[in-house]
Amino acid sequence: MNLVLNNQEHQIIDETEVIVFPKRNFIEGNSTEVSLNHLKNECTVPVWGKDNEITISHSQFIESTKEVVEDILSYKGILKPDIRVSHVLKGRIPTAIGKPAKDLLEHEKTIYYERMAFIIEVPEISEVINGNKLNLTIGGVRSYNQENLFSKKSMEKFKVFVGFQNTVCTNLCISTDGLKEDLRVSSIMELKSKIYELINNYKKKEHLINMERMFRYSLTEIQFAHLIGKMKLFPYLSKEEKQNLFPLAMNDTQLNIVIRDYHIDKHFSKSENNTISFWNLYNLFTEANKSTYIDSNLERSSNVYAYVNYLLNAIEKEESNYFIH
């Protein structure tokens, strides 16, 4: 199958051509928005059950990341984190033990959130690709369900990333080297050190070049249908067949969203001649990924980025590829 090479060679354009769109959520996936103040002052903090040692709280994680960003960038402005939570765990204070749930007063209720994701945008550091303004973004995920809180205190698991957020759609653009999905630490100081390390090792220029490359190639409608069909077939292949293929993480529900948005998305749908650039396709994938639950969202976002680059590498090297040939 021959793929279309777009005529445009360079799509990073002047910011005066960029259109600003209303703010949308960076993730959906059964989550709700909360403030840092709510997490800090109105939520309890889980402890390790066998020794009553306290865990690093969601608010401490966010504030630690914010402090690292401010330090690295010598940032003097105000960085406001965007926070999403899910899977609320409810409790009550000891004096309200005998009360029916319907009679509980607000001060007698306790809550904390099992899963939390946040991002911190730095709008002063941005790039423009194909008319889309991308702001540098740092963030992370904490999922208490991935800790064994019934045991003694042990290394705590976090996920942190540095990448870009597309301001047109709030889709996160996360490269594989910009994500630490299994960061284990025993203290806040160690957590900060690991975040410093991630940001300092992030290959920003390479990330931008790879995203810009996505606009140079397009799929016809028949080629798009072929690609989606192969992606839908992938989960049903045998283990032996999957061994030499890209480990695709998107599920069938998300692919149905991609198919729908291929026709109707305001910003990334097919063009008038029924072709779609890989940049638009990538953004359809990341948009569909917003439906992923908090605890696996970052991994799937990174997987999508790697997948699109995997396809482009096969195209440029004219290699045989299960998904596109």
Q: What is the pLDDT of residue 4?
A: 47
Name, in order, each residue with C-beta under 8 angstroms of 212's C-beta and a sequence gap of 6 or more. Answer: 10, 11, 12, 129
Q: What is the pLDDT of residue 98?
A: 87
Return phi, psi of residue 204, to 5°. Answer: -60, -50
Rounded CA-CA distance 201/178 in Å is 8
Name, in order, each residue with C-beta under 8 angstroms of 205's C-beta and a sequence gap of 6 or more. Answer: none
**Within the chain, which residues score under 70 in pLDDT?**
1-23
Q: Smallest Cα–Cα separation from 135: which of 20, 237, 45, 222?
A: 20
Q: Smallest Cα–Cα separation from 166: which of 14, 7, 20, 278?
A: 20
